[in-house]
């Protein structure tokens, strides 16, 4: 692992998070934390015709967790709920453009987990083991 993981773009998203804050009337919201370090992410979604119409996130934690959550909110606008359900670790790593290594990967995946929790919550479906084990 090296500080190459702290590329300008990641620090930029950490310092100036996109889509940070609250939605006026979200259709669904979800929140989770990483017990290892206490990172917290909350996501709020507006859903229209089975797609993400609008999205915001809030949170506290390390640069990796906050930047990846912010990048994810930008990337999933307009995506279908099925597309989000199909997303995995490779999708997040590609967004970040780095591999944070085995001890920090959970920081990077917290945003995806909360996004998926939102989608399953909206659909009223049970959360899969795969999602539970992301972080």
Partner 1 sequence: MVEKVTTINVSKLREDFPVLKRLVNGKPLIYFDNAATSQKPESVIETTDRYYREYNANIHRGIHKLAEEATLAHEEAREKIAKFIHAKHTEEIIFTRNATEAINLVAYSWGRANVGKGDKIVLTIMEHHSNTVPWQLLAQEKGATVEYVKIDNDGMLRLEEVHEIIDEKTKIVCVTQASNVLGTINPVKEIGKVAHRYGAMFLVDAAQSVPHMRVDVRDIDCDFFAFSGHKMLGPTGIGVLHGKSEHLRRMPPFLGGGEMIREVHTTGSLWKDIPYKYEAGTPNIVGAIGLGAAVDYLSKIGMENVYEHEREIAKYAIGRMSEVKDLTLYGPRDIAQRVGVLSFNLGDIHAHDLASILDEDGIAIRSGHHCAQPLMEFLNVPAMSRASFYIYNTREEVDVFINALEKARKLFAR
Residues that bind partner 1 (CB under 8 A): 1-3, 5-6, 8, 11, 36-39, 60-64, 100, 104, 107
Q: How many residues belong to the chain?
A: 135
**Residue 38 · residue 50 · CB < 8 Å:** no
Q: Which is nearer to partner 1, 100 or 111 (CB)?
A: 100
Q: Which is nearer to partner 1, 2 or 133 (CB)?
A: 2
3-class DSSP state for residue 135? Answer: coil
3-class DSSP state for residue 103? Answer: coil
CB of 114 to partner 1, least distance (A): 17
Q: Which is nearer to partner 1, 64 or 87 (CB)?
A: 64
End-to-end Cα spacing for the chain: 19
Q: Which residues fall within 8 angstroms of residue 18, CB to CB, at 6 or more apart?
A: 70, 71, 73, 74
CB of 102 to partner 1, least distance (A): 12
CB of 34 to partner 1, least distance (A): 9
CB of 41 to partner 1, least distance (A): 13
């Amino acid at each position: 692992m090296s500080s190459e993981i702290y590329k300008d773009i990641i620090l930029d998203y950490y310092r100036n998070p996109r889509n940070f804050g609250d939605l006026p009337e979200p259709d669904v919201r979800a929140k989770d934390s990483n017990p290892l370090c206490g990172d917290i992410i909350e996501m709020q979604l507006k859903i229209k015709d089975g797609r993400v119409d609008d999205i915001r996130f809030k949170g506290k934690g390390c640069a990796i967790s906050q930047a990846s959550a912010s990048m994810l909110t930008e990337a999933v606008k307009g995506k279908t709920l099925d597309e989000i359900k199909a997303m995995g670790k490779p999708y997040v790593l590609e967004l970040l453009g780095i591999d944070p290594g085995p001890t920090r990967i959970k920081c990077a995946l917290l945003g995806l987990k909360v996004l998926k929790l939102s989608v399953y919550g909206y659909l009223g479906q049970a959360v899969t083991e795969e999602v539970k084990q992301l972080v």
